[in-house]
């Protein structure tokens, strides 16, 4: 009987991870569809690299602002409204992109709508993970959920030689709009409508340490700026050095698939050790810096090899970083991970805009080197934040002792 119950719980957790990941991928997809098809979108809309970067940045800026409002609203209205709103914004934005976008102004306005859709998708999926996933699978859950962004990039890459080539780039956004409409329909039929249960008052809240938490938020801001520049402009750089649009699309797809595998594996491993996650995050960021130096070389084979590794290894840290910070978030893991999410959105907004403008002004090669430097700064800040977290655990022992990643109690000193 117990084995059957555990099997049912495992199946339920698997469905939860996959549905949250699918919703996250749907919200994150638009900027990568735009970036992967940039060589076709730019001539039709009459835009340059600067406007393309501004469009991607507008998406993330709208997502950052929308995420602050979405959480409290959805806490009051429940999961059904959250999922329906997410699908509705995606459907509206995709439809506008497919039918009405004709120039820079309409492109930027539509990316605002799609950015709000991303905020709703993130809030809805995060709520599902936080309220229902078993503690013993939380590291794996973060890895699977954060793989959704890479899945979005992979879908964007595959769309170039398939749907985008056959029916035009607008057809890819029409397809995402149709999926958004399907999400709305499923939310109204299948998602529970109950409100979130209020948190019981249990006395003073054991808050996370703000100084290292903010340092972590700044770290992911720098890393996200570099990483989103990869996703938005690697196709344009590959085309510039002599790769075909099909080859660049497949590069994005293959690199994203490898990153998904690494993120899931890293989360699975995190459930089986007692901390020490942040040094691994920093190592992944440093690896990303080395890969971008190789991409800057500009030889077609180097762009393929190091671009693939930049996706697979250099952009495999988001799930592990979120899990590590939430783990030392004491009584407020959602608040702690929220700081990280805010930093990621800010970096996602600033990176493509600033680096895209720089690429248009001085070329891609020096811009890739600057992006590599951002990865180095991010890795150093992650190690600095780890020192702060460890010092805080010694000075202010948590009310609930830290466990192994999988929720198993293990007496051990703070290892962060």
Judged against a pLDDT cut of 90, whether residue 2 lies above it is answered with no
Place of tokens 């080395």: 290
Query: So where are the chain's domains?
Result: 10-194+206-395
Q: Which CATH superfamily is domain 10-194+206-395 in?
A: MFS general substrate transporter like domains (1.20.1250.20)
By CB atoms closer than 10 A (0-12, 13-18, 19+), residue 285 is buried
pLDDT for 48 equals 84
pLDDT for 414 equals 45
Which of residues 51 and 330 earns the better pLDDT score? 51
Contact call for residues 321 and 268 (beta carbons, < 8 A): no
Mean pLDDT to the nearest integer, 57-73: 79
Mean pLDDT to the nearest integer, 280-308: 94
**In 10 A of CB 289, how many CB atoms?**
22
pLDDT for 309 equals 95
Q: What is the pTM of this model?
A: 0.74
39 pLDDT tier (thresholds 50, 70, 90):
confident
**Residues 35-68: b if buried by 16+ CB within 10 A, e if exposed:** bbbbbbbbeebebebbbbbbbbbbbbbbbbbbbe
201 pLDDT tier (thresholds 50, 70, 90):
very low
pLDDT for 164 equals 61
Judged against a pLDDT cut of 70, whether residue 409 lies above it is answered with no
Instruction: Map the chain to HEC letters.
Output: CHHHHHHHHHHHHHHHHHHHHHHHHHHHHHHHHHHHCHHHHHHHHCCCHHHHHHHHHHHHHHHHHHHHHHHHHHHHHCHHHHHHHHHHHHHHHHHHHHHCCCCHHHHHHHHHHHHHHHHHHHHHHHHHHHHHCCHHHHHHHHHHHHHHHHHHHHHHHHHCCCHHHHHCHHHHHHHHHHHHHHHHHHHHHCCCCCCCCCCCCCCCCCCCCHHHHHHHHHHHHHHHHHHHHHHHHHHHHHHHCCCCHHHHHHHHHHHHHHHHHHHHHHHHHHCCCCCCCHHHHHHHHHHHHHHHHHHHCCCHHHHHHHHHHHHHCCCCCHHHHHHHHHHCCCCCHHHHHHHHHHHHHHHHHHHHHHHHHHHHHHCHHHHHHHHHHHHHHHHHHHHHHHHHHHHHHHHCCCCCCCCCCCCCCCCCCCCC
At 222-278, the pLDDT tens digits run: 999 999 898 878 888 998 998 887 888 888 888 888 888 898 888 888 877 776 789
For residue 329, give the DSSP letter.
-
CA distance 315 to 259: 7
Contact call for residues 26 and 90 (beta carbons, < 8 A): yes
Judged against a pLDDT cut of 60, whether residue 71 lies above it is answered with yes
Judged against a pLDDT cut of 60, whether residue 379 lies above it is answered with yes
Which of residues 172 and 364 earns the better pLDDT score? 364
**In 10 A of CB 322, how many CB atoms?**
26
pLDDT for 244 equals 86
Mean pLDDT to the nearest integer, 283-303: 94
Write the CA distances from 355 to 215, 228, 309, 362, 365, integer angstroms.
22, 10, 20, 10, 11
Mean pLDDT to the nearest integer, 291-307: 94
CA distance 320 to 318: 6
Which of residues 261 and 162 earns the better pLDDT score? 261
pLDDT for 403 equals 60
Q: What's the whole-number average pLDDT of the chain?
A: 81
Judged against a pLDDT cut of 50, whether residue 69 lies above it is answered with yes
pLDDT for 319 equals 84
The rounded percent of the chain whose pLDDT value lies above 90 is: 27
């Amino acid at each position: 009987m117990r084995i059957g119950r555990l099997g049912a719980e495992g199946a339920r957790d698997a469905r939860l991870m996959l549905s949250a990941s699918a919703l996250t991928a749907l919200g994150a997809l638009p900027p990568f569809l735009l970036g992967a098809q940039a060589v076709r979108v730019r001539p039709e809309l009459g835009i340059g690299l600067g406007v393309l970067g501004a469009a991607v940045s507008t998406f993330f800026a709208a997502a950052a602002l929308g995420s602050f409002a979405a959480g409290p609203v959805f806490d009051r209205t429940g999961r059904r409204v959250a999922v329906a709103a997410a699908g509705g914004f995606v459907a509206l934005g995709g439809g506008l992109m497919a039918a009405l976008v004709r120039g820079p102004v309409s492109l930027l306005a539509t990316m605002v709508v799609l950015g709000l859709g991303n905020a709703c998708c993130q809030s809805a999926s995060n709520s599902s993970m936080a309220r229902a996933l078993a503690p013993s699978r939380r590291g794996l859950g973060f890895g699977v959920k954060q793989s959704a962004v890479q899945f979005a990039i992979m879908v964007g890459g595959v769309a170039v030689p398939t749907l985008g080539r056959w029916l035009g780039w607008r057809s890819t956004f029409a397809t995402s709009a149709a999926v958004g409409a399907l999400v709305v329909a499923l939310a109204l039929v299948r998602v529970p409508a109950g409100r979130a249960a209020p948190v019981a008052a249990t006395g003073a809240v054991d808050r996370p340490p703000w100084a290292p938490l903010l340092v972590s938020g700044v770290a992911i801001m720098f890393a996200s700026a570099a990483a989103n520049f990869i996703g938005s402009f690697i196709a344009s750089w590959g085309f510039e050095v002599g790769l075909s649009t099909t080859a660049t699309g497949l590069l994005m797809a293959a690199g994203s698939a490898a990153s998904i595998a690494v993120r899931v594996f890293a989360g699975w491993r995190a459930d089986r050790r007692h901390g020490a996650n942040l040094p691994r995050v920093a190592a992944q960021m440093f690896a990303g810096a080395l890969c971008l130096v190789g991409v800057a070389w500009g030889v077609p084979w180097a762009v393929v090899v190091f671009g693939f590794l930049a996706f697979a290894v250099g952009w495999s840290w988001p799930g592990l970083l979120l899990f590590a910070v939430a783990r030392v978030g004491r009584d407020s893991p959602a608040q702690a991970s929220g700081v990280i999410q805010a930093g990621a959105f800010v970096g996602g907004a600033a990176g493509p805009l600033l680096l895209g403008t720089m690429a248009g002004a001085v070329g891609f090669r020096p811009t890739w080197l600057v992006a590599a430097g951002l990865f180095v700064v991010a890795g150093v800040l992650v190690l600095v934040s780890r020192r702060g977290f460890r010092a805080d655990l010694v000075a202010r022992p948590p009310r609930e002792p830290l466990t192994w990643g999988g929720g198993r109690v293990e007496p051990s000193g703070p290892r962060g």
